[in-house]
């Protein structure tokens, strides 16, 4: 079989490694891929949002199955266009992808179907938003409605900060069009859990839970990033929490999307907070998380391609989805300065042992040498029977990769270990 994966980060590298385990797979193309992915797939210089070129490529190369991984092409209708052209593919159509691309849609869906989430109001008028803030409890959370590269969320600790955030989104348009509508919501507290799930629009099967580490610095200090590391499973996600999530959140969300005429197929990502009142939805993503995928898929024992095809065909209920009982840890190595400005172009050296555990995010090939080309450069994943062993092994493996100006958090998984000790 010939497969095509759209995207070019660590998540896509992890997806490709898992797809390759199926012996029926002969060739995997990655559009556009990156210098590290090139060791596992044929990278094709077509951008992740160049949907016309993707469809033309798929037809010319008789692609049997496509996987659309990032949020942008999903929101732009890559799955619709490929399906229309007769290429079966993994991911939601544009109508369903709106669950991530419009926070206002997601919040209204949860309100209508009684799915637990933070209380909120939606505003399109700046003066009304500012007036509302005068009466709302502080801290308060301000979110730009549309996709804002994960940066459209501001937690304001004072009324002044909250007003400044609303003005910067609605008047100064710091997130562009995304800020013409804002969601103002209640600040929740509690540990966060990421749960990715497979769904065919009817059946939903949660994957092993995980925990992201979003801040750049140790002990959750510094700026928000795309994610500096992950562990799985997340100890906060006990069997009792899992049962409540299934009943109060996962099944109702899938049913709600179907009832709205937007059946969701693909990977639905539940960003949850376990509050004193029980689990609540912080956000939905219409795709695999990055770097959650880099710990979740290495624990998947069943065949990824078979499961993905079942989400497309509507046969997920009859498909085996089994995860190992083990644990995984992914440590991201980033360029010094990230998520603000950083230098690139530094050669990367890696031992063969570490390479096998590495998912490359921001690196390109300069002739035959892999050089850094992004903020998050790569993630090193280890799996082991216990979380402590997985963490120790991931950090040991990071010693096998070097590039100038690299940094990583030293405390990935520490909070999870503390939670286990109670």
10 binds ligand GLY (CB under 6 A): no
Q: Which helix (H) or strand (E) holds 363?
A: strand 363-366
Stretch of 243-251, 285-293, 318-326, 337-345 contacting ligand GLY, by CB under 6 A: 285-293
290 binds ligand GLY (CB under 6 A): yes
Name the closest residue to ligand GLY (Cβ). 289
Crossing angle of helices 10-19 and 304-313, in 10° steps, is 100
Among 64, 212, 303, 393, binds ligand GLY (CB under 6 A): 212
Stretch of 1-9, 287-295, 314-322, 382-390 contacting ligand GLY, by CB under 6 A: 287-295
Report the C-alpha gap between 319 and 337 in whole angstroms: 44
Give residue 155's Cα distance to chain centre.
20
32 binds ligand AMP (CB under 6 A): no
Nearer to ligand AMP, 271 or 400 (CB): 271
Smallest distance, ligand GLY to C-beta of residue 214, A: 7
Q: Which of ligand GLY, ligand AMP, none does residue 188 bind to, with CB < 5 to 8 Å depending on kind?
A: ligand AMP
* CA nearest neighbour of 169 among 137, 122, 203: 122
Q: 6 forms bridges with which residues in the sheet?
A: 31, 68
Q: Which of ligand AMP, ligand GLY, none does residue 187 bind to, with CB < 5 to 8 Å depending on kind?
A: ligand AMP
121 binds ligand AMP (CB under 6 A): no
Nearer to ligand GLY, 12 or 290 (CB): 290
* CA nearest neighbour of 30 among 74, 40, 363, 292: 40
35 CB contacts (<8 Å, ≥6 apart)?
A: 360, 363, 364, 365, 370, 371, 373
Among 16, 89, 204, 282, binds ligand AMP (CB under 6 A): 282
Give residue 299's Cα distance to chain centre.
17
Residue ranges in 393-412 that form contacts with ligand GLY under rule CB under 6 A: none
Quick check: 308 and 65 in contact, CB under 8 A? yes
Quick check: 78 and 110 in contact, CB under 8 A? no
Stretch of 75-83, 149-157, 250-258, 376-384 contacting ligand AMP, by CB under 6 A: 149-157
Stretch of 66-74, 77-85, 147-155, 368-376 contacting ligand AMP, by CB under 6 A: 147-155
Residue ranges in 133-162 that form contacts with ligand GLY under rule CB under 6 A: 150
Report the C-alpha gap between 278 and 374 in whole angstroms: 38
Smallest distance, ligand GLY to C-beta of residue 292, A: 6
285 binds ligand GLY (CB under 6 A): yes
289 binds ligand GLY (CB under 6 A): yes
β-pair type (192-199, 204-206): antiparallel
150 Rama sector, left if φ>0, alpha if ψ -120 to 50, beta otherwise: left
191 binds ligand AMP (CB under 6 A): no
91 binds ligand GLY (CB under 6 A): no
Report the C-alpha gap between 115 and 107 in whole angstroms: 9
Would you give the DSSP letter of residue 249?
I
362 binds ligand GLY (CB under 6 A): no
For CA atoms 120, 126, 130, 132, the dihedral sign is negative
Q: Which helix (H) or strand (E) holds 377?
A: strand 376-384
Q: Which helix (H) or strand (E) holds 372?
A: strand 369-372
Among 39, 42, 159, 188, binds ligand AMP (CB under 6 A): 188
339 binds ligand GLY (CB under 6 A): no
Quick check: 92 and 197 in contact, CB under 8 A? no
Residue ranges in 222-241 that form contacts with ligand GLY under rule CB under 6 A: 227
Smallest distance, ligand GLY to C-beta of residue 111, A: 23
* CA nearest neighbour of 408 among 396, 398, 397: 398
Residue ranges in 213-272 that form contacts with ligand AMP under rule CB under 6 A: 214, 271
Q: Which of ligand AMP, ligand GLY, none does residue 282 bind to, with CB < 5 to 8 Å depending on kind?
A: ligand AMP
Query: Under the rule (CB under 6 A), what is the footprint of ligand AMP?
Result: 118, 141, 150, 153, 155, 185-188, 192, 214, 271, 282-283
Query: Under the rule (CB under 6 A), what is the footprint of ligand GLY?
Result: 150, 212, 227, 285, 289-290, 292
């Amino acid at each position: 079989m010939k497969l095509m994966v759209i995207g070019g980060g660590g998540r896509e590298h992890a997806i490709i490694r898992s797809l390759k385990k199926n012996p029926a797979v002969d060739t995997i193309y990655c559009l556009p891929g990156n210098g590290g992915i090139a060791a596992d797939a044929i990278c094709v210089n077509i951008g992740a949002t160049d949907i016309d070129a993707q469809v033309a490529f798929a037809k010319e190369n008789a692609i049997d199955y496509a996987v659309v991984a990032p949020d942008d092409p999903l929101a732009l209708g890559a799955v619709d266009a490929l399906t229309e052209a007769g290429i079966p593919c993994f991911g939601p159509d544009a109508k369903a992808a709106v669950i991530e691309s419009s926070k206002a849609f997601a919040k209204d869906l949860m309100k209508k179907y009684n799915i637990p989430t933070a209380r909120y109001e939606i505003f399109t008028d700046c003066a009304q938003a500012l007036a509302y803030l005068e009466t709302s409890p502080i801290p308060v959370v301000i979110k730009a409605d549309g996709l804002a590269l994960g940066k459209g969320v501001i937690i304001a600790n004072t009324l002044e900060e909250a007003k400044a955030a609303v003005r910067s989104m609605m008047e100064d348009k710091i997130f562009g069009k995304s800020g013409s509508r804002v969601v103002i919501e209640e600040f929740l507290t509690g540990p966060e859990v990421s749960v990715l799930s497979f769904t065919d629009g009817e059946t939903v099967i949660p994957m092993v839970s995980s925990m992201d580490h979003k801040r750049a610095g140790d002990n959750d200090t510094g700026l928000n990033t795309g994610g500096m590391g992950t562990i799985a499973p997340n100890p906060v996600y006990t069997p009792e929490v899992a049962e409540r999530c299934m009943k109060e959140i996962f099944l109702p969300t899938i049913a709600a999307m179907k009832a709205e005429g937007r059946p969701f197929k693909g990977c639905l990502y539940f960003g949850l907070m376990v509050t004193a009142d029980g689990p609540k939805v912080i956000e939905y993503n219409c795709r695999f998380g990055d770097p959650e995928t880099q710990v979740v898929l290495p624990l998947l024992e069943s065949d990824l391609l078979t499961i993905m095809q079942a989400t497309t065909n509507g046969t997920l209920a009859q498909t085996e989805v089994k995860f190992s009982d083990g644990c995984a840890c992914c440590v991201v190595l980033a360029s010094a300065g990230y998520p603000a400005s950083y230098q690139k172009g530094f050669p990367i050296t890696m031992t063969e042992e570490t390479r096998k555990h590495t998912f490359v995010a921001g690196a390109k090939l300069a002739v035959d040498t892999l050089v850094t080309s992004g903020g998050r450069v790569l993630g090193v994943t280890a799996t082991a029977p216990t979380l402590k062993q997985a963490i120790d092994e991931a950090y040991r493996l990071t010693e096998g990769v070097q590039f100038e100006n690299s940094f990583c958090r030293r405390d990935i998984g520490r909070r999870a270990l503390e939670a286990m000790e109670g």
